[in-house]
Chains A and B, each alone.
Chain A
Amino acid sequence: MSTLNVLLIGSPNSGKTTLFNRLTGLRAKTVNYPGSTVDLTVGRWANSQSGDVQLFDTPGVYSLNPRSPDEAITVRALETKAPHAVVAVVDATQLSRQLAIALQLREMFRSSDERDVTAVVVALTMLDLVQREGDSIDLAKLSVELGLKVIATDGEGAVEKLRSAIEQEKAVEPRVVQKPQKSSVEHLREAKRIKDLVTHSPKNDQRAQALRGPRAVTRKIDRSVLHPFFGPLLFFAVMTTLFTLIYWLAQPLMELVDSTFSALANGLMNQSWVDPDSLLARLVSDGLITGAGAVLIFVPQIYILFCGLVFLEDSGYLARAATIVDRPLKAIGLGGRSFVPLLSGFACAVPAMMAARTVNSRRERMLTLFVLPLMSCSARLPVYALLLGFVFGANALQAGFGLAALYVGSILAGVIAASLISRLAEKRGFFGAEKSFLMLELPLYRMPNLILVLKQALLRTNSYVKRTGPVILVLSVLIWAGTTFPNYREQDATVRLEQSFAGRAGQVLSPVFEPMGGDWRTGLGLISAFAAREVFVSTMAIIFHVTETDESEDSLQSGLLTQMREAKAPSGAPLFTLASTLGLMLFFMIALQCLATFAVALRESGSMKFAVTQLLLFNLVAYVLTVALVQGLRFMGIN
């Protein structure tokens, strides 16, 4: 018995994903689309007659004459996944447009074998909404007009009916896809003709339709949601809630992940059969277990963010929210859809970059990915706290203003970077020839299916752990090795770090760090911060012999601040001054010192060139600006 390949094809918001989940149950996983990095969801069910059926969910399309990269992916999946059958998912409330896709598929799957099967089954969704509008659709007539089997997906036994229809209509051999001969205009004309023929409606014009049933409800809700005053107010409330969830709700869970992995690493070292000085024990505990922790620490934020995002998307609100903020973001080359990823960036760039998948214009998606690391993520906070503590001492009010200035600075940097890069991209065609556009569909409001929301978020999280996780793991093991070897047996952590490869690199690169007001010690802190920005603080603590015997973090920080105040540069002058500390803050604001972000950028952009350019450019610009600031301040007599 062989496996049947079946593709699910339909417009965005056609109910494709809901149907996919009903057909495949809970067993689904993500794989790569052929030739791209976009996730393709695959599920299967056992078929008594012909073995397993493998069902692929594809990105929503408006047409199969590909106009966008996403549509091209769906067409490529049609061509390369060797389908025995396709299911055209058609939203019954939008027959006059979505039937065109079914017609296109019928043409693309023209039979060439002796059994005259069509290999295309139409799944009609949201029939209940049509009925609530007081209309009815003659399914038998629709089937005759299309020349395809039509199955309504509402009600009992629909899934079984659809499965058996696929079984009947499947081609014996995988079908070779042919180019459609008719244009989409012709298909659309035909779709409208069929719609008018099969729909029975009290008054069948658009204006009358807009005034009754679910469409009227949606219009009524929209009157508040898109209201000039209440619209932005609601937007603000929803976004604040979303951000609060990923910022505060995720915090205890992230700490739990952190402490669990520390406990695991320590627990291993304390076993009687483990020699804590052996290379293997160190590799497993400090390298692998800590590295796995570095991967999984992002899971709570990713899961929570995607629960919120899928919920908002499925309810119909996310598209409206995008239209509310589109205007200001458009001015800097981004779009309304970029808002949620950018906002999430203030918590962490890793989940935020994954959220940028919801930006449908490719150029805007790439630009969003590019400027995201400038948003002031929470990993910068411990570093800012230390440096602000150095500048302002115990004056909490001034430190508070300083922190606010850093946030404003990060937004300004993002605005400037987005404007500059979008203009450059326009001229040079960096992110593809496609212009940025909005053209967003506003679906009918619906109550999201909560189980489906949780499941979709889990799929995304899984995809992160499986695909980005290994890269982050390898990179963090490399950073650990760089700060540990070659003298990994050395008991004194400070000596071990100083003599490590990273320590030596810091010393060799010392002339590079001097213009920014530092020396090799600052450099080593900056290098180690690539594991995660907050590691800067603990590295500084090790360099300056501040022991962690003190229980609270506050005393660790005050001990470190004392050491920093006393630290001298080789010339004998103080190492940390107002100028050099301000310089460090500026550096942390702009530099992309996070290998996890690099790994996610690599995966989400699908381009090594993109990720490497981003990494080099941000660090170079940060360096140049820091040197300019420190030297400028010194020139003005501020040391």
Chain B
Amino acid sequence: MAMPTDLVTWVLDQNMPPDDSGVSLKVHHISAEGDPALLGRLEDLGLGPFEEILYFGRAPLGEPIYISVRETVLALRLMEARLIFVTRVVP
């Protein structure tokens, strides 16, 4: 099992795969350090431990990033994505 890293660090370290089906990641935990409203909204969108997310890449200007969780595609600022800790799912 890979060590969890926050989504932003992970994003910045990775190149996107050639196809556009996204990269599978699994939420390890959500940092408790964020604004409560923001954390609440992440929770409402289903972003919690063990949740599978797909990473689709970054916006033209480098931010926000695009992920999909529970059938919904989301754009997150790096500040927002920084709260999400993930592990890589090996296909």
Task: Compute how far the CA of A328 lies from the CA of B60 in the bound complex, rounded to whole angstroms.
Answer: 12
A207 within 8 A of partner (CB): yes
- Please determine whether B46 and A438 come into contact, CB atoms closer than 8 angstroms: no
A441 within 8 A of partner (CB): yes
Knowing A63-B44, A434-B37 are in contact, say whether A439-B54 is a contact too (CB < 8 A): no
Knowing A188-B46, A207-B54 are in contact, say whether A67-B73 is a contact too (CB < 8 A): no
- Please determine whether A442 and B66 come into contact, CB atoms closer than 8 angstroms: yes
Please give the distance in Å from B14's CB to the nearest CB on chain A: 16
Knowing A97-B72, A184-B43, A219-B20 are in contact, say whether A226-B77 is a contact too (CB < 8 A): no
Closest to A91 in B: B71
- A228 surroundings in chain B (CB, below 8 A): 60
- B37 surroundings in chain A (CB, below 8 A): 67-68, 434-435, 437
- Please determine whether A207 and B75 come into contact, CB atoms closer than 8 angstroms: no
- Please determine whether B71 and A97 come into contact, CB atoms closer than 8 angstroms: yes
- Please determine whether B72 and A206 come into contact, CB atoms closer than 8 angstroms: no
- Please determine whether A67 and B44 come into contact, CB atoms closer than 8 angstroms: yes
B15 within 8 A of partner (CB): no
- B62 surroundings in chain A (CB, below 8 A): 327
Closest to A187 in B: B44
A-B CB contact pairs (8 Å), 27 listed: A62-B45, A65-B40, A68-B37, A96-B71, A184-B44, A185-B48, A192-B46, A205-B52, A206-B24, A206-B52, A209-B71, A210-B22, A222-B66, A319-B75, A323-B66, A323-B75, A326-B77, A327-B64, A330-B63, A434-B35, A434-B37, A438-B64, A438-B76, A438-B80, A439-B38, A442-B66, A442-B74
- Please determine whether A441 and B73 come into contact, CB atoms closer than 8 angstroms: yes
Query: Which of B24, B42, B46, B60 is close to A226, meaning CB atoms less than 8 Å apart?
Result: B60
**Interface of chain A: mostly helix, strand, loop or mixed:** helix
- Please determine whether A97 and B70 come into contact, CB atoms closer than 8 angstroms: yes
Task: Compute how far the CA of A222 lies from the CA of B60 in the bound complex, rounded to whole angstroms.
Answer: 11
- A125 surroundings in chain B (CB, below 8 A): none
Residues of B whose CB lies within 8 Å of any CB of A are 20-22, 24, 35, 37-38, 40-46, 48, 52, 54, 56-57, 59-64, 66, 68, 70-77, 80
Tell me the chain A residues, 590-636 only, with Cβ under 8 Å from chain B: none
How many of chain A's residues have a CB under 8 angstroms from any CB in B? 49
Task: Compute how far the CA of A189 lies from the CA of B8 in the bound complex, rounded to whole angstroms.
Answer: 26
Residue-wise interface mask of A (206-219) relative to B, using a CB-CB cutoff of 8 A (1 in contact, 0 not) = 11011100000011
Residue-wise interface mask of A (85-104) relative to B, using a CB-CB cutoff of 8 A (1 in contact, 0 not) = 00000000111110010000
- Please determine whether B70 and A94 come into contact, CB atoms closer than 8 angstroms: yes
- Please determine whether A435 and B22 come into contact, CB atoms closer than 8 angstroms: no
- B42 surroundings in chain A (CB, below 8 A): 439
- Please determine whether B74 and A441 come into contact, CB atoms closer than 8 angstroms: yes
- Please determine whether A326 and B38 come into contact, CB atoms closer than 8 angstroms: no
- B70 surroundings in chain A (CB, below 8 A): 94, 96-97, 188, 192
- A326 surroundings in chain B (CB, below 8 A): 59, 61, 63-64, 75, 77
Please give the distance in Å from A188's CB to the nearest CB on chain B: 5
Tell me the chain A residues, 295-347 only, with Cβ under 8 Å from chain B: 319, 322-328, 330
Please give the distance in Å from B63's CB to the nearest CB on chain A: 5
- A435 surroundings in chain B (CB, below 8 A): 35, 37-38
- B41 surroundings in chain A (CB, below 8 A): 62, 67-68, 437, 439
Query: Which of A93, A185, A210, A325 is close to B43, meaning CB atoms less than 8 Å apart?
Result: A185
- B63 surroundings in chain A (CB, below 8 A): 326-327, 330
